[in-house]
Amino acid sequence: MMNPNIETFIGCDCGYEEADMVLYGAPFDSTTSFRPGARFGPSAMRHESFGLETWSPYQDADLTDCAVFDSGDMELCFGSSETALKDIEERAEEIFTDGKFPLLLGGEHLVTLGAVRAAVRRYPELHIIHFDAHADLRDDYLGAKLSHACVLRRCHDLLGDGRIHQFCIRSGDREEFRFAKEHTELHPFGFDGLKETVTALREKNVPVYFTIDLDCLDPSIFPGTGTPEPEASASPGF
Ligand SMILES: [Mn+2]
């Protein structure tokens, strides 16, 4: 039997009904301030995924052990961040309503806010683990409250103090780092403290949203990002 030519992320082609997780792409980069192009991220990741094995010898696990449905990319409004975020939030809400977990591919980091809005409504005790070179804690960036540079600050508006755990952060302004001291758990430069954080959150049995900005990696490992930040020790030790 022949199938239509639809490219899904490798190993993510189970049906919707039996899926535990639903992957969706948010190809949006309207607030990117340096190198644009993150809108091509979801389709590029799907395409390149076919160069990988689904089995990981590091984790002794296979992607096909998870039941993931790839629902493709959203068609998002490029002229309005709020409209795009509303659509991303509604998709996450629909996935939660069906008893599944969303797995979002960006896109610039702002897209995370849409999914977090839906997640915190369903799980008021939500914590966030955040891998990034940047704190993303500005209250506004060039006058915009909805910016990739403000996304974790907007998440803090929803979650409050002590529930955002940031790792590998090595870039931001003085005010962001001052804010982090009082309001988030910021681990600078690397992944020190990650194991302890994961253990503590497991013991508390709280829900966790995990967001990774691939610029947490040194640009020699991952050059194709909007705002690369060198840090030789930021190799994947996690
Ligand atoms: Mn970043």
Residues 8 and 93 occupy one common structural domain: yes
Distance 217 CA to ligand 1 centre (A): 10
Q: Tell how far the Cα of 142 is from the centroid of ligand 1, in angstroms.
A: 17
Same domain, 146 and 114: no
Structure tokens at 202: 């497991």
Residue 49: in which H helix or E strand, if any? helix 41-49
pLDDT at 217 over 90: yes
**What's the mean pLDDT when you consider all of the chain?**
94
Q: What is the pLDDT of residue 219?
A: 92
Note whether 114 and 39 are same-domain residues.
yes
> Ligand 1 center to residue 133 CA distance, Å?
5
Report, as an integer, the average pLDDT of 210-226.
93
CA-CA distance, 114 to 87, in Å (whole number)? 8
Shared domain for 86 and 175, answered yes or no, is no
- Provide the domain limits for residue 60: 1-122
For the chain, how many structural domains are there in total? 2
| Cα angle, residue 136 at apex, residues 70 and 238 outer, rounded to 5° | 60
Q: Measured in angstroms, how far is the CA atom of residue 150 from the centroid of ligand 1? A: 11
Ligand 1 centroid to 36 CA: how many Å? 13
Same domain for 60 and 154? no
Q: Answer yes or no: do 33 and 59 share one domain.
A: yes
Same-domain pairing of 211 and 185: yes
Residues 37 and 73 in one domain: yes
% pLDDT > 90, the chain? 88
pLDDT at residue 238, rounded to an integer = 47
133 and 226: one domain? Answer: yes
Distance 227 CA to ligand 1 centre (A): 6
- Tell me: do 92 and 149 sit in the same domain: no
Cβ neighbours of 150 (radius 10 Å): 24
Tens of pLDDT, residues 39-96: 999 999 999 999 999 999 999 999 999 999 999 999 999 899 999 999 999 999 999 9
In this predicted structure, which of 11-20, 125-134, 194-203, 227-236 has the lowest mean pLDDT? 227-236
**Mean pLDDT in residue range 29-42:** 92
Q: Are 40 and 140 in a shared domain?
A: no
Q: Are 127 and 209 in contact (CB under 8 A)?
A: yes
> What is the distance in A from the centroid of ligand 1 to the CA of 2?
42
Distance 46 CA to ligand 1 centre (A): 21
Which of these three, 101, 122, 143, is where a domain ends?
122
What is the distance in A from the centroid of ligand 1 to the CA of 118? Answer: 22
Where is the domain boundary, 90, 122, 154? 122
Which of 85, 103, 122 is the last residue before a domain boundary? 122
CA of 98 to the centre of ligand 1 (A): 31
| CATH code, 146 | 3.40.800.10
**Based on the domain organization, do 34 and 141 belong to the same domain?**
no
Give the pLDDT of residue 6: 86
What ranges make up the beta strands (E) of the chain? 21-26, 55-56, 61-62, 68-73, 101-106, 127-131, 164-169, 185-188, 208-212
Ligand 1 centroid, distance to 134 Cα (angstroms): 4
Nearest in space to 136 (alpha carbons), one of 116, 156, 159: 156
